Copies of this chain bind each other. A is one copy, B any other.
Amino acid sequence: MARQRRVTATDVAREAGVSQTTVSYVLNDVPHQKISAETRQRIHAAVAKLGYAPSAAARTLRTGHSNIVLLLLARMPLGHTAIELVEQLTQALQEHGLSVVTRIDDGGPDASLWADLAPRAVVMLAPVRADRRKRMEAAGIHVINAWRRDPEDAGHDTLAHSQHRVGQLQARYLVAAGHRHLGYAAPADSRLSDFYELRLEGVRDACADLDLPAPVMRKIEPDRESAATAVQAWRSEGVSAVCAFNDEAAFALLAGMRQAGLAAPGDLAVIGVDDIPVARFAEPPLTTVDQHMGIVAAGLAEAILRRQDFSTASAGKPRGESATVVARQSA
């Protein structure tokens, strides 16, 4: 396997009849370096002819930072909403020459997560332990925590904010349908607790705003017995509608109700979150909240770029509704 020598900027320079310095200037569009259009032309032609691709390693070594933005995902069920977020963020940052790379934070040795990548920034889509964050920052990496509100770092909280909004939407929809006493179905899976807290908070705030009693929260295991028990308990307390943490929890509730001879929305209205592909095939079809990750991604991208001293005169914050209700039959 005679692996041929890699094509370097020097090869391009030779081919184009200029210095390697000029090649670098042209390829990086260095400002204040007026290079004749004709020279640029020759260089681009040489690049194409030789199939030159710059060495990221060399650039990183020289400049002290890569163009990689590391997206750290928690080891939790992801689903299509998370995937959409990743896609949207990848696209938004790509336009600024930043390369998004995803890793699942498997709780392994700390540095192994990012040492090999030398990312320019790390976006934590999962709760971060403070010490881990500290260590990254000590290594000169910008850490964007999409979970916690941080007054100094506007934009960081876009994901958290969106979760709060989701809870609000669920509650308001239910209240608009005439319900006054709400329940909240949280997942028993402890990896998800930071997640549901934010959504539950949104439900609580909406109830408070509307002068309604606080929602009564129950954790449910992913099985129909656990769900059926919770349903009975809510009903006996006068709860007439429940916000499920996500569509999976909502499915459990619906199954639990069927088992108990009950049916949504009459006996208990149910609203989920995510609009997973099978939500429409639930019995009855599931009313849910769909998140628009394009909005969340735009906010996150802005926060990242601002930290990078990119000239993002990007005309104010991205705006738009980050989630909307998909009304079907379960509520």
Chain A interface residues (CB < 8 Å from chain B) = 3-4, 6, 51, 53-58, 60-61, 64, 66-68, 75, 77-80, 83, 86-87, 90-91, 94, 99-104, 106, 108, 111-112, 115-118, 135, 138-140, 222-224, 247-248, 251-252, 254-255, 258, 276-278, 280-281, 283
Are A255 and B277 touching (Cβ within 8 A)?
Answer: no
A104 touches B77 (CB 8 A): no
Q: Which residues of B contact A118 (CB under 8 A)?
A: 55-57
* Cα(A91)–Cα(B103), bound, Å: 12
Contact of A281 among B106, B139, B255 (CB under 8 A): B255
How long is the Cα–Cα vector from A281 to B139 in the complex, in angstroms?
47
Say yes or no: A77 contacts B277, CB within 8 Å.
yes
20 contacts between A and B (CB under 8 A): A3-B140, A51-B135, A54-B115, A55-B61, A56-B57, A56-B115, A61-B61, A68-B117, A77-B277, A78-B78, A78-B83, A83-B104, A87-B106, A99-B116, A102-B102, A102-B103, A222-B280, A248-B278, A251-B278, A255-B280
Q: For residue A278, which residue of chain B has the nearest CB?
A: B251
Is the CB–CB distance between B83 and A108 below 8 Å?
no
Contact A112 B91 (CB under 8 A): no
Given A66-B116, A248-B277: 20 more A-B contacts, CB < 8 Å: A54-B115, A56-B118, A57-B118, A58-B61, A61-B61, A67-B116, A75-B87, A77-B80, A77-B83, A78-B80, A78-B83, A83-B104, A90-B103, A90-B104, A91-B106, A99-B116, A99-B117, A102-B102, A223-B280, A251-B281
Judging by beta carbons under 8 Å apart, are B117 and A101 in contact? yes
CB distance from A4 to the nearest CB of B (A): 8
Q: How far apart are the CA atoms of A281 and B256 in the complex, in Å?
A: 9
Complex CA–CA separation, A222 to B116 (angstroms): 42
